[in-house]
Chains A and B, each alone.
Chain A
Amino acid sequence: MSEIAAAVKGNGKSLKELDRAVIRFAGDSGDGMQLTGEQFTTESAWAGNDVATLPNFPAEIRAPAGTLFGVSSFQLQFGSHRVYTPGDRLDCLVAMNPAALKVHLHDLKTGGLLIVNTPAFDKRNLDKAGYAANPLDAPALGERYRLHKVDMTGLTHEAIKDLPLNTKEKDRTKNFFALGLVSWIYTRPLEPTLEWIGKKFAKNKDVATANTRVLKAGHAYGETAEIFNEHYTVEAAEMVPGLYRAMTGNRALAWGILAAAQRSKVPVVYGAYPITPASDILHELALHKRFRVRTIQAEDEIAAVSAAIGASFGGAIGVTGSSGPGIALKAEAIGLAVMAELPLVVFDIQRGGPSTGLPTKTEQADLLQAVYGRNSESPVVVLAPATPGDCFYVAYEAVRIAAKYMVPVLVLSDGFLANGSEPWLIPEPETLPPIDVQFRTDADGFFPYLRDPATLARPWVRPGTPGLEHRIGGIEKQDVTGNISYDADNHDHMVRTRAEKVRRVAQEIAPTTIQGPGTGDVLVVGWGSTYGAITAAVERAQAAGRSVGSIHLRHLNPLPPDLGHILREYRRVLVPEINSGQLVRMLRAEYLVDAVGFNRVRGLPLASDEIHEAITQLLESQA
């Protein structure tokens, strides 16, 4: 995060070139920080930077104003090189009130830019944040950080004093002042935000005018006010050429399902019960009826998965989505899909737990639940996307595998991927692998549990097909005939067959990509949303000449066939996870390797710094 300093003159203010920057907007839930962050992200993407974001908001819908737990924030990192994470330490913090300052200040680098909205630092807000005295008055703050006290509220009101809006409405536009100001500081284009305001408030001209004026006022303030004597540019990143869009994980999962529906020519039934942070998948899919995606807001989590299973029985692609608590409720029904050997896709957008836990925070602690969390021997395929955009491909792949192997596929996303966004290279849909669904229609020699020799899948028959009437269900069946069977040897055979069917999905797994040498001192193994943090940490260690490599697992059950070999090519194996050691446990059990975990369960993504530190320690411990 070095500054490739090069002073350029402009308006008497120097323009410095940075290769990356980490910014956080923090304020009250009602201050519009999520919107501000999203717009800043769009501006940065327009500027050609690579971006990674981290929205962070309270679980309460209307948390009491001014309180510490009501603070909402949006962090992003943008850069002229690949940006893997939203960043660890902040280069710039915008604090709209005392509570935001108190919660977030410790993440700001020494010497970092601190911008505060002074009028919010009144007695009431200071009390609520637990400040005995105004921290802005303490000289230490200005010595440690580049502190800019800005009367955002006052300047906002001044800019729009002639508009027929009430005080509250005027107040609400001040986040655009902050956005305008920070946009000037980092030389972001305002066009995308101006366009957005125009569209969003097309029906309310006064609000549109107010937001536009306030945005420009913030920008102009940076340019003219004496206090900002330098600003920055971040060059466009060298990214793969093509058409890009911003993509969040939840939207990508939904669109992956749409792509699969179109490609397979099979309708989708998505059953879901509202739950944070998975509900947006339901909202998104409900918008796209034209893809023959039918959504049910079910009466509960069990009904949601049951409806999906009923749809699969009918020859549609049954999909359900939830978060950890909901997945627990769906467990028995997933077992039914295992037994009935029907395709089913289950999204688990993991959040902090157990129980209600931390609904709006991220975690990776449902891995063991996904792989093992049902009664008896009930293997399912488990996949995990690595980035928000990757969710698209993983959702599509989940449908492809489920239909090909007649098996449930669980997809482990999490709160960080769900709400985080990245600039995403839009794929050509034709380049996706085909999803070739063949419903059996031939009555000749038909049996419900007749198996495809390559996949062990049983035939998928749509009710309505003459001559193929048959009955399936949760009771153990005789292989081939599908008749109810309590026979001991048949049960043993079926347990093994269901396991083997899942094991054969390994045929679908591409050779594992190793970032770094094929052999060395430390191999970092990750899965899911830690991809960015791990990659950044490993690249840093490699740049320092360390013998370190990393692999990131998309397939968690079955594991890649070449994994055991790769693990043995390194002296030590480090497994960073946002849980207390779940993949590491699986790897140790499966491969008898002495892998060690790096585990933090704070409801937050892992920081690349701490992973780097863990790598260094492991290297030193074995030296």
Chain B
Amino acid sequence: MSAGGPGAKEAPKYTKKDFESDQDVRWCPGCGDYAILSAVQKTLPDLGVPKEDIVFVSGIGCSSRFPYYMNTYGFHTIHGRAPAIATGLKLARPELKVFVVTGDGDGLSIGGNHMLHVLRRNVSVTILLFNNRIYGLTKGQYSPTSELGKVTKSTPLGSADRPVNPLAFALGCGATFVARSVDRNIPHMEEMLRRAVRHKGAAFLEILQNCNVYNDLAWNVMYDKESRLAHELRLEPGKPLLFGPPDDRRAVIMDGVVPRVVRAADTPESALWVHDETNLNAAKLLADLFAPDFPVPIGVLAAIDAPVYEEIMLEQERRAISERGPGDIARLLTSGDTWKIS
């Protein structure tokens, strides 16, 4: 009766179509969510996991409609709680491949606490955080990732809140896999999804997503052809941090403990900052880089091995059973101090 874990069962050869559900997709035309959905449906066949072993869990918001469109198991829950629900699910069924789909409001505002704890516990779930810097479903209020001074319906004179940086937040929580991609960079998104789903432990993937209705082109720095060429910094393990157009390559280097942008041509190879995914300190510095003064890093900032929550919990259970046998309520009831009345 028990389902085999990923890899335990031979998965059929799937195509993208196998992961498309029969539900009408209800996002606004032009929404960045479509590209993400398509990328997920396209990469899942490569995972080699039977689709009945895949579960999408979401909270509330535009992004959280995601599970309905996947022909897998899915649970569309309540605002912010998807990480906690996924944690219980993994504890009940560690062999399942579980995704959490969330947004900047769902995952970093109302559900910020659960995000913190699912990351620090290192529960094996793949978290896709669609960051559009706005509340879409409630029709356009500023979100915790909106920039200071953001003018929205709820902040007609500009927001007074400083934004949270999702990557820095995740790293601060002790996340063991942290990456960023962009909805309009489909090949990169697919590559990041493949990396994230293979990570053991909690994988946090921020996807910069366009809400064309309430916050169009919030990530134009990564959309506009010229701007992207000037700012996109692809993180690749073992490669130096180089970016910019071919005729004006730049490098990010460390000046003491301060990152600095310099002309690549003037920089000796020994001074280059070579990306190392296992260096969490470096990842924390990378997380804070952003345009216009710095490039915008995309790719895997950090990926480390660490103990996995549900594995530890299940190992404790296995050990207890192998050492002392399965629980027996009749014996428990009569254990310790008892007395007979005749």
Interface flag for B126 (CB, 8 Å): no
**Contact between A299 and B114 (Cβ–Cβ < 8 Å)?**
yes
Q: Are A427 and B333 in contact (CB under 8 A)?
A: yes
State the Cβ distance, A79 to closest chain B Cβ, in Å.
14
Residues of A within 8 A of B86 (CB): 310
Query: Which residues of chain B from 97 to 115 have any CB-CB distance to chain A below 8 Å in the complex?
Result: 113-114
Q: Which residues of B contact A465 (CB under 8 A)?
A: 3, 52
User: CA A471 – CA B68 in complex, angstroms?
Assistant: 6
Closest A residue by C-beta to B4: A464
* In the complex, chain A residues 241-292 whose Cβ is within 8 Å of any chain B Cβ: 241-246, 255, 258-259, 261-263, 267, 269, 271, 288-292
Q: Which residues of chain A in 416-470 are interfacial with respect to chain B, using CB atoms and an 8 Å cutoff?
A: 426-429, 439, 441, 462-470
Tell me if A316 counts as interface (CB < 8 A to partner B): yes
Interface check B136, CB cutoff 8 A: no
Contact residues of B between 23 and 47, Cβ < 8 Å to A: 23
Chain A, interface size: which category? Answer: 35 or more
Residues of B within 8 A of A267 (CB): 92
Interface residue? A192 (CB, 8 A): yes
**Nearest CB to that of B318 among chain A residues?**
A289
Cα A263 to Cα B84 with chains together (Å): 27
Q: In the complex, what residues of A have CB within 8 A of residue B297's CB?
A: none
A315 to B342, CA, bound (A): 43
The answer to the question of B298 belonging to the interface, with a C-beta cut-off of 8 Å to chain A, is no
Residues of B within 8 A of A470 (CB): 73-74
CB closest chain-B residue, reference A246: B337
In B277-325, the 8 Å CB interface with A consists of 313-314, 316-317, 320-321, 324-325
Q: How far, in whole Å, are A156 and B51 apart by their CA atoms in the complex?
A: 71
Q: What B residues does A255 contact at CB under 8 A?
A: 329, 332-333
Give bound CA distance, A269 to B86, whole Å.
Answer: 12
A46 with B327: in contact, given A288-B332, A307-B85 (CB under 8 Å)? no
- In the assembled complex, the CB of A309 is this many whole angstroms from the nearest CB of chain B, namely 6
Interfacial chain B residues near A462, Cβ < 8 Å: 1, 3, 93
Q: Is the CB of A463 within 8 A of B93?
A: yes
Check if B92 sits within 8 Å of A290, measured CB to CB: no
A-chain residues with CB within 8 Å of residue B21 when the two chains form the complex? 471
A306 and B77 in contact, given A269-B91, A298-B84, A465-B3 (Cβ under 8 angstroms): yes
B10 within 8 A of partner (CB): no
**Residues on the B chain within 8 Å of A316, using CB:** 91-93
* B43-80 Cβ-contact flags toward A at 8 Å (1 or 0): 00000001111011110100000011011111111100
**Beta-carbon nearest neighbor of B319 in chain A:** A289
Which residues of chain B come closer than 8 Å to A353, judged between CB atoms? none
In the complex, per-residue mask of A301-338: 1 if CB is within 8 Å of any chain B CB, else 0: 01110111111111110100000000000001101100
Chain A residues positioned under 8 Å from B58 (CB to CB): 473
B93 CB → nearest A CB, Å:
4
Question: When chains A and B are docked, how far (Å) is the Cα of A258 from the Cα of B327?
Answer: 8
Known: A299-B116, A469-B71. A311 touches B91 (CB 8 A): yes
Nearest-neighbour CB distance to chain A for B82, whole angstroms, equals 8
Q: Is B96 an interface residue (CB 8 A)?
A: yes
- Check B317–A294 contact: CB distance below 8 A: yes
Contact at B88–A315, with CB atoms within 8 Å?
no
A240 within 8 A of B: yes
Inter-subunit contact B89/A474 (CB<8 Å):
no
Q: Which residue of A lies closest to B3 (CB)?
A: A464
Contact B77 A308 (CB under 8 A): no
Report Cα–Cα, A244/B116, bound state, in Å.
Answer: 47
Does B117 have its Cβ within 8 Å of any Cβ on chain A?
Answer: yes
On whether the beta carbons of A464 and B95 are closer than 8 Å, the reply is: yes
Instruction: Give CA–CA (A466, B1) in the complex, Å.
Output: 11
Q: Which residues of B contact A236 (CB under 8 A)?
A: 341
Cα–Cα distance between A484 and B69 once the two chains are bound (Å):
12
Closest-by-CB residue of A relative to B21 is: A471
Q: Is the CB of A471 within 8 A of B334?
A: no
Interface of A is mostly: mixed
Tell whether A313 pairs with B85 under 8 Å between CB atoms, given A303-B113, A428-B330, A473-B75. Answer: yes
* Interchain CA distance A462-B75 in the complex, whole Å: 12
Is the Cβ of A314 less than 8 Å from the Cβ of B76?
A: no
The CA of A302 and the CA of B68, in the complex, are separated in Å by: 24
* Interface membership of A483, Cβ < 8 A: yes
For A192, list chain B residues within 8 Å (CB).
337
Q: How far is the CA of A88 from the CA of B3 in the complex (A)?
A: 57
Instruction: Check B81 for interface membership: any CB of A closer than 8 A.
Output: yes
- CB neighbours (8 Å) of A288 from chain B are 327, 332
CA distance A300 to B114 in the complex (A): 9
Complex partner residue of A241 from B56, B71, B341, CB under 8 angstroms:
B341
Q: Are A467 and B52 in contact (CB under 8 A)?
A: yes
* B-side contacts of A307, CB under 8 Å: 84-85, 87-88, 91
Q: Is the CB of A242 within 8 A of B341?
A: yes
B328 at the interface (CB under 8 A from A): yes
A289: B residues at CB distance < 8 A: 316-317, 320-321
Residues of B within 8 A of A537 (CB): none
- A48 at the A/B interface (Cβ < 8 Å)? yes
Taking the closest CB of chain A, its distance from the CB of B281, in whole angstroms, is 26
> Which residue of A is nearest B51, CB measured?
A469
Of chain B, the residue at the smallest CB distance from A288 is B327
Q: Are B52 and A464 in contact (CB under 8 A)?
A: yes
Q: Taking CB as reference atom, which chain B residue is nearest A261? A: B327
How far apart sit A464 and B329, CA to CA, in the bound complex (Å)?
Answer: 29
> Which of A298, A336, A426 touches B78 (beta carbons < 8 Å)?
A336
Tell me if B238 counts as interface (CB < 8 A to partner A): no
* Chain A residues whose CB sits within 8 angstroms of the CB of B81 once the complex forms: 302-303, 306, 333
Residue in A closest to B113 when the chains form the complex, CB atoms: A299
Asked whether A42 is an interface residue with its Cβ less than 8 Å from the other chain, the reply is yes
A480 contacts partner chain B, Cβ-Cβ < 8 Å: no
- Which residues of the partner chain A approach B337 to less than 8 Å between Cβ atoms? 42, 192, 245-246
Q: Which residues of A contact B1 (CB under 8 A)?
A: 439, 441, 462
Q: Chain A CB within 10 Å — which of B113, B116, B328, B333 has the most? A: B333
Question: With an 8 A cutoff between CB atoms, is A340 at the interface?
Answer: yes
Task: Please tell me if the beta carbons of A463 and B85 are within 8 angstroms of each other in the complex.
Answer: no
Contact code string A46-61 (vs B, CB < 8 Å = 1, else 0): 1010000000000000
Q: Which residues of A contact B92 (CB under 8 A)?
A: 267, 269, 294, 310-312, 314-316, 318
Contacting pair A466 B50 (CB below 8 A): yes
Question: Cβ of B326 < 8 Å from any Cβ of A?
Answer: yes
Q: Give every chain B residue within 8 A of A296 (Cβ-Cβ).
A: 87-88, 91
Contact yes or no, A290 B325, CB < 8 A:
yes
**Complex-state Cα separation, A239 to B342, whole angstroms:** 8
CB-CB < 8 A to B114: which residues of A? 299, 302-303, 306
- Say whether A318 contacts B332, CB under 8 Å: no
On chain A, the residues within 8 Å of B336 by CB distance are: 245
Q: Are A463 and B330 in contact (CB under 8 A)?
A: no
A interface footprint on B1-29 (CB within 8 Å = 1, 0 otherwise): 11100000000000000000101000000
- The answer to whether B340 touches A243, judged by C-beta atoms less than 8 angstroms apart, is yes
Query: What is the distance, in angstroms, from A360's C-beta to the closest C-beta of chain B?
Result: 25
Query: Which residue from B76, B88, B320 sits with its C-beta under 8 Å from A290?
Result: B320
A379 to B83, CA, bound (A): 26
**Is the C-beta of A45 less than 8 angstroms from some C-beta in chain B?**
yes
Whether the Cβ atoms of A311 and B88 lie closer than 8 Å is yes
Chain A residues lying within 8 Å of B338, measured Cβ to Cβ, are 243-245, 426
Sampled A-B contacts (14; CB under 8 Å): A45-B339, A236-B341, A243-B334, A245-B337, A292-B321, A298-B117, A306-B81, A306-B84, A309-B85, A311-B91, A336-B77, A426-B334, A463-B55, A469-B71
Given contacts A291-B326, A299-B114, A310-B57, 16 further A-B contacts (CB under 8 A): A236-B341, A244-B340, A296-B87, A303-B81, A306-B81, A306-B87, A306-B114, A311-B88, A311-B91, A335-B78, A336-B78, A463-B73, A464-B3, A470-B74, A471-B73, A472-B74
Taking Cβ atoms with an 8 Å cutoff, the residues of A that contact B are 42, 45-46, 48, 192, 236, 239-246, 255, 258-259, 261-263, 267, 269, 271, 288-294, 296, 298-300, 302-304, 306-316, 318, 332-333, 335-336, 340, 426-429, 439, 441, 462-475, 483-484
